[in-house]
Chain A
């Protein structure tokens, strides 16, 4: 006991104790600051002056440009749409993820199966149609409205391809009575309005 007490009286021991506590203090406080969880609340109202940084660029224009690597719509049963708006069969997908433009069935900006209200019965056609340059004003208008409505999903999109992929998916806007589609035939919509309610 005496030895310990004497040891504790020594300045350097106290110094070590102090130093260690200092380290602990610094790390724990800084760690908390570092813990930046990105929290989003879908329905919470944010400051009205909060500007959402839109990363979406509308620079499609030249569709003939070559891409070394393409993103595509991944999920399709038979069809895929690449980020240039080409729809092709799965077998015509190139190794780089782009559609083989030379394949006979490959088409760009296909609006097949899409209705006037912007709802289509095939997801891949919806995405392709949405990528069409003349849909740009529509999408911009929609994005501005989404910004006001603070729709979580569309705040996170990075560019027009992601926007079209996300926009065409079925969502809370696609259902009535929760467990049925408003319109089971044309449920993928790039347009502003939800699918027209199909009355049985």
Chain B
């Protein structure tokens, strides 16, 4: 229970001595950030959105006493003192013993002891205190501690070095950026963290992950080629012994690291001293692809990647990422790289805790995407998360990151020498890359190591973190030793990620577990990744088979599958769509079954098997079915009309957020509208996603269609269908956003990365298209651009770059507020307040049983990204109105209510001339003159798999039964595995000594190889010394008078004295 007060206090002192300096150490890149000084002055200000509340409770533990000594004594001495002290008590039959403390510090001298004394009288305690070496005796207390995170409403920009640099004029840092954070330690631990610091000792990450076990077995990464794609490395860095080659691919004429990022990353992988890396004997290939100004181009990467292929690199770390997964040359090249057996490890991004922020290339199936955790196994706040967004709007994202590992306050090599702490997923990535390198060197048959088998071993061995969903932690935390065991008994096979589908398992399977499925709902899609360790290409034999479990109501669900025609490179997808069968329309319960997939690959060169290798994998499925909810409870989210970067420039919805000009999070209810989704679920609504045109859903099933921040155009057929649906009782809520052509021209910028001008293709939303959709009801949004705080129905609201309502039917309810004209501010830098801007409108369509329409001019208050004040209450009120026809009195009787604006006022916004929306649109196509709508595509059709029922039952917990085939962890013995002993003594940066290997854990082969040349010199030297000896001895024997010369040589004596003077302790 006790937290080693002694050692901890020593540590505290040491940490307090050097940590702040490490934490405050400005990253060199921050030179370029104008506002960095501010963040340096108040490192905590960046973190004000997280308040940590510590609560304590303590109670006395009976019969246990802490005996504090006046100094530090060994365990034996302490025991002696106590027994001698207690011997003096009158109470002869006093029962006592020392409570053993099993911890790494117990070998070291301590100044206290925990004693259990039965029926201790006050007198015996007093006698104890009489002992000369005992300072005091206090009762043992049990401390209960609970941590509470309190997110405060304002969300300032996270302290991300790359974001800090951003100027509106460049999209650069939103593309590929190096993924480390600026003020490191402060970021990791937060403000009130002095107590956490004790437990989050910045130990060597390689030792925490038990790399020393593998080192002791003689594996140190030798023979594995690791490429570090980063900011370079200086030539004579003392931490590295096997730098094979350094190449520069940038336009700066240097190979050295000017930022410290590349050195740190290389250090985590392969440093051999001070802050040790994982694989000190690996062959390091340094690729400098990022300049000191944080610039990099796709073309540099292409050439550098080609060189890596030519050099037959085994493991490649890329602590760099960006949102542009539509950069085809880059994505293709990464595929090519892994197809050439390069194991690619990449950082998932530092854009958390927002969802939908995964970075490329870490989000690719063939790449190992790494997220960050702190030393207490919490997902690091900065770690990017959420599903991949490639598959939107029709499909559903894949699970990423693949695994997580330490990425907060990790120690690695400093730019010139020594160590420093850094945080960021770019720290977590080399931890995995280093581990992968070390693992690869343990495998005897290197042919078995490939990007897929390595990833399979890592994810099968990962330790799941409790209470965290799979879109944050992937398969869990890296476990090096278990990965070693799995990899060393690995047989080529296919596996799935995730390996089972349990839609009832919370929170791991969030968001699936947050909403049960029912008949008539949009099919639930789970996008499973197939990893194929057999060969770079593979295919699915025949078709996957759906086998419902009859005893477990498997026949109540229908399953459809779509999959990659060819699994290349090393991976492919298997999208499983699950729907409820009609016979279960009013049934409630759990249904189970499984899908069987057989993957075949051509046999590899050296295998004995002729022809094809096959591997069959089982994917268990478990779902919860409820009766179809009433229409009013069902909300349909329009995903089809949401566009985002990449590839086009779709500007942010909040123009104040200049450092993040792009709208790139997917605009999905499970990415940046996650909070809104959670809120609607908690209010009892069932939210489904429409990934197809409006013509493709049965409107009679839904109460409300929710369109938020739509950038896409509409097919004429969609407009007609929506009118008919609303006449028949469907309701519509639109959260629009700004669209002003002058402002759009103003926010164009020259993009350093693509070396061309970027002109937005829409505003925050596509208002002209929305106006086409709603014009039939006499409604329209304006091209105004407003901003400001106001109060509505006793709620504080913030209007962040929204438009106003230009036209509205006279019998509707319209709410107006006084707002600032942000358009004027952007264009002319003038401030003007506009009175009574109509922002909210409610309207009941006149037809019998017709639906209702609600319009609001700004989407920022329900969007997680850059949200300042949420307005979920407003969404509730609007849904009450649209779904249940209950007009909220706070709105209908508001004194802000105004007469409906009419057509006579300002003109409606027109589409920006020359916009390139057609390039990214699913609706428009290029045409002479204006782009024209394409023909309406057919609605997606799922072909349900023919069920092959089996009379089986599944175990209640699907997870534990899913591991790689033919791998029995118990069978793989670990020779020389010591029990895990974390190093308690922290190493100060100055502690470096040439051959001082901390803790002496670096084993045999390492030292041998370091000194391959040393024995020769040692032998020569020894010979010299030996001959000197021999000469001396012979001289001494022939001249026995040895004392005389010493007296005769005062100079010699003097010399000795001076030496002694310099070393008084000798």
Contacts and interface: CB of A to CB of B under 8 A. Distances in A.
- Interface size class on chain B is 35 or more
A95 interface: yes
A4 B246 CA distance: 50
Interface in A43-76: 43-44, 74-76
B1032 interface: yes
B602 A91 contact: yes
Interface string B187-201: 000000000000000
Interface in B325-362: 326-330, 332-333, 336, 339-341
Given A19-B1028, A96-B605, A43 B1018 contact: no
Contact of B755 (A19, A43, A177, A200): A177
Contacts of B1028: 12, 15, 18-19
Contact of A162 (B244, B297, B310): B310
Contact of A179 (B311, B324, B1017, B1059): B324
B235 A15 contact: no
A29 B518 CA distance: 75
Contacts of B754: 177-179
Interface in B243-291: 243-251, 253, 255
Nearest to A184: B328
Contacts of B755: 177-178
Contacts of A178: 297-299, 327, 329, 753-755
A171 B302 contact: yes
Contacts of B339: 74-77
Contact of B246 (A30, A37, A91, A166): A37
Which of A19, A35, A93, A97 has most B Cβ within 10 Å?
A19
A96 B604 CA distance: 10
A132 to B, nearest CB: 21
Interface in B995-1050: 1013-1014, 1017-1018, 1020-1022, 1024-1025, 1028-1029, 1032-1033, 1046
B302 A174 contact: yes
A41 B34 CA distance: 32
Contacts, number: 178
B938 interface: no
Nearest to B241: A35
Interface stretch (A101-109, A139-147, A149-157): A149-157
B732 interface: no
A41 B1020 CA distance: 38
B393 interface: no
Contacts of A165: 310
A157 B309 CA distance: 11
Interface string B31-47: 00000000000000000
A4 B1060 CA distance: 10
B93 to A, nearest CB: 52
Contact of B566 (A12, A77, A172): A77
A152 B247 contact: yes
Given A90-B537, A96-B605, A26 B1017 contact: yes
A74 B536 contact: yes
Contacts of B1018: 23, 27
B753 A40 contact: no
Given A30-B1017, A75-B536, A178-B299, A9 B310 contact: no
A157 to B, nearest CB: 7
Contacts of A40: 245-248
Contact of A5 (B611, B1014, B1060): B1060
Contact of B1025 (A19, A170, A175): A19
Contact of A152 (B307, B328, B341): B307
Contact of A41 (B235, B248, B647, B1013): B248
Contact of A27 (B300, B566, B568, B1013): B1013
Which of A37, A95, A152, A175 has most B Cβ within 10 Å?
A37
A169 B336 contact: yes
Contacts of A39: 235, 245-247, 255
Nearest to B254: A41
Contacts of B606: 95
Contact of A75 (B235, B330, B340, B1059): B340
Nearest to A95: B605
Interface string A4-23: 11001101100110111011
Interface string B6-43: 00000000000000000000000000000000000000
B693 interface: no
A54 to B, nearest CB: 15
A11 to B, nearest CB: 6
Contacts of A75: 336, 339-340, 536, 569
A97 to B, nearest CB: 6
A5 B1056 contact: yes
Nearest to B1052: A9
A16 B919 CA distance: 79
A169 B329 contact: no
Contacts of B307: 152-153, 156
Contacts of A179: 298, 324, 326-330, 647, 753-754
- Interface size class on chain A is 35 or more
Which of B244, B310, B1022, B1066 has most A Cβ within 10 Å?
B310
A93 B1021 contact: no
Interface in B926-959: none
A156 to B, nearest CB: 6
Interface string B425-443: 0000000000000000000
Contact of A22 (B243, B329, B1024): B1024
Nearest to A151: B303
Nearest to A21: B1021
A170 B602 CA distance: 26
A180 B328 contact: yes
Nearest to B330: A179
A156 B569 CA distance: 26
A42 B310 contact: no
A16 B1025 CA distance: 6
Contacts of B1014: 27
B682 interface: no
Nearest to B1011: A27
Contacts of A38: 244-246
A34 interface: yes
A6 B754 CA distance: 76
Given A15-B1025, A177-B756, A180-B329, A9 B311 contact: no
B1020 A166 contact: no
A78 B566 contact: yes
Contact of B303 (A42, A90, A96): A42
22 contacts: A8-B1056, A9-B1046, A18-B1028, A31-B1013, A37-B244, A39-B245, A42-B248, A43-B253, A77-B566, A90-B537, A156-B307, A170-B336, A171-B302, A171-B303, A172-B297, A175-B298, A177-B756, A178-B297, A178-B329, A179-B327, A179-B329, A179-B647
Interface of B: 235-236, 243-251, 253, 255, 297-300, 302-303, 306-307, 309-311, 324, 326-330, 332-333, 336, 339-341, 536-537, 566, 568-569, 602, 605-606, 611-612, 647, 753-756, 919, 1013-1014, 1017-1018, 1020-1022, 1024-1025, 1028-1029, 1032-1033, 1046, 1052-1053, 1056, 1059-1060, 1066
Interface of A: 4-5, 8-9, 11-12, 15-16, 18-20, 22-23, 26-27, 30-32, 34-35, 37-44, 74-78, 90-91, 93, 95-97, 152-153, 156-157, 162, 165-166, 169-172, 174-175, 177-181, 184, 200
Given A93-B605, A179-B328, 10 more contacts: A8-B1056, A8-B1060, A18-B1028, A19-B1021, A39-B255, A43-B253, A152-B247, A174-B329, A179-B327, A179-B753
Which 7 residue pairs spanning A and B have beta carbons closest together? A172-B299, A19-B1025, A23-B1021, A75-B339, A179-B327, A178-B298, A177-B754
